[in-house]
């Protein structure tokens, strides 16, 4: 398979991040965009030189030669839309999370096994170079994780996206933002969290979602994860990770790695000009071409959804 033809699903901020990444990858062509709003979808297709757009996912998937779909649509649509694509014989890359509940996540994994289509989740933290370097250090025993401390902070008291634009759907600290760190902690330790706690603050009066959350996890080897999340924080937004290890402390923010003392660090063979989204998309395309299970496949990421389900039960 030489040229991989992609249908982009969604026209928002993350669709544009994936389009930026795909432009840097050889043998890839985005041939259609399935959007949620006509004006924004048509504008994005025109700006990017994409020949077809529609508000109908079925129409977009039926465009000649479409091999795969990348889903950046609202979280609540992920499962049903990805099932439609797999049933249509398309490979899928689903932006995190694969679904907003465990039942749909399990159904996705089961359908992937039935159809045999390649299916992956956009767990970008697995692909950011600093986290990859730390994964290698931990997997080879050069470092032992003692405590992963994570802060995920935004200031979103209105229903807006990462670009400050109005959203048509409501975000979730648990199923979206905590999902990144729950998956990363279990990926880095190679274990499933056995001890959990979860607390949340009051719901927003209009949005109906918890605006603050605290999560704790522990795996059998003894490593801890402390995760703090907020939509109420004024200041720089995003997620910062502090890996407290037996041989040093390491701070990660997106693609930057520094020591506990603030010294900028390199990360060996994982030094890269590529960000986590591009590396994720490259893995997706490579897996399609090579006919193999991708890193961060649905099957591999299901344990994070199982842990999120347990945490949700603790919050009720």
Judge if 109 and 152 occupy the same domain: no
Judge if 119 and 267 occupy the same domain: no
Judge if 10 and 98 occupy the same domain: yes
Q: What is the pLDDT of residue 162?
A: 64
Global confidence as pTM: 0.94
Q: What is the mean pLDDT of residues 77-99?
A: 98
Judge if 112 and 237 occupy the same domain: no
Judge if 67 and 206 occupy the same domain: no
Judge if 46 and 116 occupy the same domain: yes
- The rounded mean pLDDT for the chain is 94
Q: How many domains does the chain have?
A: 2
Q: What is the pLDDT of residue 49?
A: 97
Task: Say yes or no to pLDDT of 121 above 70.
Answer: yes
CATH of residue 310's domain is 3.30.360.10
Judge if 114 and 185 occupy the same domain: no
Task: Say yes or no to pLDDT of 205 above 80.
Answer: yes
Judge if 60 and 208 occupy the same domain: no
Q: Are 314 and 174 in contact (CB under 8 A)?
A: no
Q: What is the pLDDT of residue 1?
A: 58
Judge if 266 and 160 occupy the same domain: yes
Judge if 25 and 168 occupy the same domain: no
In angstroms, the CA 20 to CA 13 distance is 11
Task: Say yes or no to pLDDT of 236 above 90.
Answer: no
pLDDT digit string (tens) for 268-283? 888 788 999 999 999 9
Task: Say yes or no to pLDDT of 199 above 70.
Answer: yes
Judge if 253 and 132 occupy the same domain: yes
Residue partners of 116: CB distance under 8 A and separation at least 6: none
Judge if 19 and 42 occupy the same domain: yes
Listed range (243-247, 263-267, 290-294) with the worst mean pLDDT: 263-267
Which residue range forms the structural domain that includes residue 38? 4-124+277-297
pLDDT digit string (tens) for 134-189? 999 999 999 999 999 999 998 777 767 666 677 676 789 999 999 999 999 999 99
Q: What is the pLDDT of residue 268?
A: 82
């Amino acid at each position: 398979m030489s040229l991989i033809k992609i249908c982009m699903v969604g026209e928002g901020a993350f669709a544009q991040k994936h389009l930026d990444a795909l432009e840097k990858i050889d043998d890839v062509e985005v041939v259609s965009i399935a959007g949620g709003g006509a004006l924004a979808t048509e504008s994005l297709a025109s700006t990017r030189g994409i020949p077809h757009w529609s508000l109908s996912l079925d129409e977009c998937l039926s465009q000649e030669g479409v091999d795969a779909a990348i889903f950046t649509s609202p979280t609540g649509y992920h499962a049903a839309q990805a099932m439609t694509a797999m049933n249509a014989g398309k490979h899928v890359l689903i932006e995190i999370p694969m679904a907003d509940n465990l039942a749909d996540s399990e159904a996705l994994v089961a359908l992937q096994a039935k159809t045999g289509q390649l299916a992956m989740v956009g767990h970008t933290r697995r692909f950011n170079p600093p986290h990859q370097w730390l994964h290698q250090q931990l997997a080879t025993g050069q470092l032992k994780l003692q405590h992963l401390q994570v802060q995920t902070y935004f200031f979103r008291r209105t229903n807006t996206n990462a670009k400050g634009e109005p959203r048509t759907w409501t975000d979730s600290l648990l199923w979206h933002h905590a999902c990144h760190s729950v998956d990363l902690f279990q990926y880095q330790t190679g274990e499933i969290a056995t001890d959990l706690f979860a607390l949340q603050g009051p719901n927003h009066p209009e949005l109906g979602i918890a605006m603050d959350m605290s999560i704790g996890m522990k795996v059998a080897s003894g490593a801890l994860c402390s995760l703090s999340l907020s939509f109420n924080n004024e200041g720089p937004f995003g997620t910062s990770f502090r890996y407290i290890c037996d041989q040093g402390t390491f701070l990660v923010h997106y693609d930057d790695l520094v020591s506990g003392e603030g010294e900028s660090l390199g990360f060996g063979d994982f030094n890269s000009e590529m960000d986590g989204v591009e590396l994720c998309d490259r893995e997706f395309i490579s897996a399609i071409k090579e006919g193999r299970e991708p890193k961060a496949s649905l099957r591999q990421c299901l344990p994070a959804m199982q842990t999120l389900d347990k945490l949700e039960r603790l919050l009720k």
